[in-house]
């Protein structure tokens, strides 16, 4: 397994991935793409309300495994009836024998709390084509309790990838990204080409700024690249945004770096000044600035080599200021420390 593959596997073990943001911002499209039979039963002229705080109260004491995006939504059906719809999206890379039981447990806990029927949906992103759990239940002494739930398998879309690339639903793009991430697991150059093509497609759909940002976050989270290719892609994105006159992703990244520098510098100075009571104010300020610059470098370029860490720990204030200024535009780590 390559270093890039290891980073991807570790990266996708985080809770609340960008899937959650795009799901909440494009909920009608989510149901239309993955669960069309449910979609046509919902009255989309009425507001829908996410109840994620209530969901956490229901399941907070349950050890139910890793979950990457789960939401509870209240919608109005076309017959005027209000129902709770619980949507559970699990992004996982392997067979999970407890998945169906987890869906069952969530469902009956929510029913018990709200005294209302709960619809549970699931999206699976594993690699096992034969694993597609859609129900769980038990029977004892003549008593039967079971749950059957709709489930979507992203792997089932593998034969439709050409059609997905021309589909206008944002979740077609996400599904394509997931499939191409799997296909390019051991080929960073192929992943770079696939990611670049999807970013270009992202800007051709006529979507608004927030949707583009949400979708890019999912693409970026899924399709991790080695540092060199990541920086190459950012240069490509600048070109794409220039062609489309949409400074969305690169402008947000620049703003985030600036804001992080400002907030981090303030925090770092506070920490540094506390230590400066013993070391002296100058040493405290140096340590504060070096600490936050190190954090920002790691955020943008990944783990730092020992030589870079050593340079940060021995730098002057002028050097730290210069490197921080270069951070905004530097395509590579070495460009920040270039003496020329």
Report the percent of the chain where pLDDT is more than 70. Answer: 76
pTM: 0.68
Residue 245 lies in a domain: no
pLDDT digits (tens, 9 = 90+) for 217-261: 888 888 888 888 888 888 888 887 777 676 666 554 544 444 455
Residue 206 lies in a domain: no
Residue 223 lies in a domain: no
pLDDT digits (tens, 9 = 90+) for 316-332: 887 887 887 787 677 78
Question: What is the predicted pLDDT for the residue at 180?
Answer: 92
Residue 221 lies in a domain: no
Between 216 and 65, the higher pLDDT residue: 216
Q: Same structural domain for residues 136 and 7? A: yes
Structure confidence at residue 143 as a pLDDT band (50, 70, 90): very high
Q: Same structural domain for residues 265 and 132? A: no
Angle among Cα 184, 187, 192 to the nearest 5 degrees reads 75
For all residues of the chain together, what is the average pLDDT?
79
Question: What is the predicted pLDDT for the residue at 11?
Answer: 45
Residue 270 lies in a domain: yes
Residue 175 CB neighbour total at 10 angstroms: 25
Residue 333 lies in a domain: yes
Structure confidence at residue 281 as a pLDDT band (50, 70, 90): very low
Q: How far apart are CA 23 and CA 19, in angstroms?
A: 6
What is the mean predicted confidence (pLDDT) over 116-132? Answer: 88
Q: Same structural domain for residues 147 and 275? A: no
Using the 3D structure, point to which of 94, 127, 157 is the last residue of a domain.
157
What is the mean predicted confidence (pLDDT) over 292-306? Answer: 76
Using the 3D structure, point to which of 94, 126, 157 is the last residue of a domain.
157
Q: Same structural domain for residues 11 and 132? A: yes
Question: What is the predicted pLDDT for the residue at 251?
Answer: 53
Q: Same structural domain for residues 133 and 268? A: no
Question: What is the predicted pLDDT for the residue at 6?
Answer: 46
Task: Specify the number of domains making up the chain.
Answer: 2
Residue 62 lies in a domain: yes
Q: How far apart are CA 44 and CA 85, in angstroms?
A: 14
Question: What is the predicted pLDDT for the residue at 202?
Answer: 86
pLDDT digits (tens, 9 = 90+) for 262-273: 555 555 555 554
Using the 3D structure, point to which of 93, 127, 157 is the last residue of a domain.
157
Scan for tokens 């021309």, then name that residue.
166
What residue numbers bound the domain in which 322 lies? 260-337
What is the mean predicted confidence (pLDDT) over 90-104? Answer: 80
What is the mean predicted confidence (pLDDT) over 130-156? Answer: 93
Residue 219 lies in a domain: no
Among 87, 144, 77, which Cα is nearest to 119's? 87
Q: Same structural domain for residues 8 and 150? A: yes
Residue 305 falls in which region: left (phi positive, over 0), alpha (psi -120 to 50) or beta? beta
């Amino acid at each position: 397994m390559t270093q890039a593959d290891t980073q991807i596997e570790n990266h996708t073990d985080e809770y609340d991935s960008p899937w959650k943001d795009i799901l909440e911002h494009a909920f009608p499209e989510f149901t239309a793409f993955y669960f069309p039979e449910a979609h046509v039963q919902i009255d989309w002229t009425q507001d829908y309300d996410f109840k994620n705080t209530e969901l956490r109260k229901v399941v907070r004491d349950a050890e139910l495994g890793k979950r990457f995006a789960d939401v509870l939504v209240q919608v109005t059906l076309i017959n005027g009836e209000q129902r709770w719809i619980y949507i559970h999206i699990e992004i996982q890379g392997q067979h999970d024998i407890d998945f169906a039981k987890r869906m069952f447990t969530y469902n009956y806990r929510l029913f018990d709390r709200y005294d209302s029927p709960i619809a549970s949906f699931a999206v699976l992103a594993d690699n096992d084509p034969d694993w597609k759990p859609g129900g769980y239940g038990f029977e004892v002494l003549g008593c039967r309790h079971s749950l059957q739930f709709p489930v979507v398998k992203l792997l089932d879309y593998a034969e439709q990838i050409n059609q997905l690339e021309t589909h206008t639903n944002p979740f077609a793009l996400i599904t394509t990204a997931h499939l191409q991430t799997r296909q390019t697991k051991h080929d960073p150059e192929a992943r770079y080409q696939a990611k670049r093509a999807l970013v270009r497609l992202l800007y051709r759909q006529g979507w608004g700024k927030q949707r583009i940002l949400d979708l890019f976050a999912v693409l970026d989270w899924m399709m991790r690249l080695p540092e060199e290719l990541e920086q190459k892609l950012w240069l490509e994105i600048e070109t794409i945004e220039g062609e489309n006159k949409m400074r969305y992703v690169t402008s947000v990244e620049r703003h985030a770096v600036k804001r992080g520098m400002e907030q981090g510098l303030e925090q770092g100075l506070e920490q540094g000044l506390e230590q400066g009571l013993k070391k002296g104010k100058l040493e405290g300020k140096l340590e504060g600035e070096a600490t936050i610059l190190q954090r920002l470098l790691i955020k943008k370029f990944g783990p730092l080599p020992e030589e870079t860490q050593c340079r940060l720990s021995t730098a002057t204030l002028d050097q730290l200021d210069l490197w921080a200024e270069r951070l905004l535009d530097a395509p590579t780590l070495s460009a920040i420390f270039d003496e020329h």
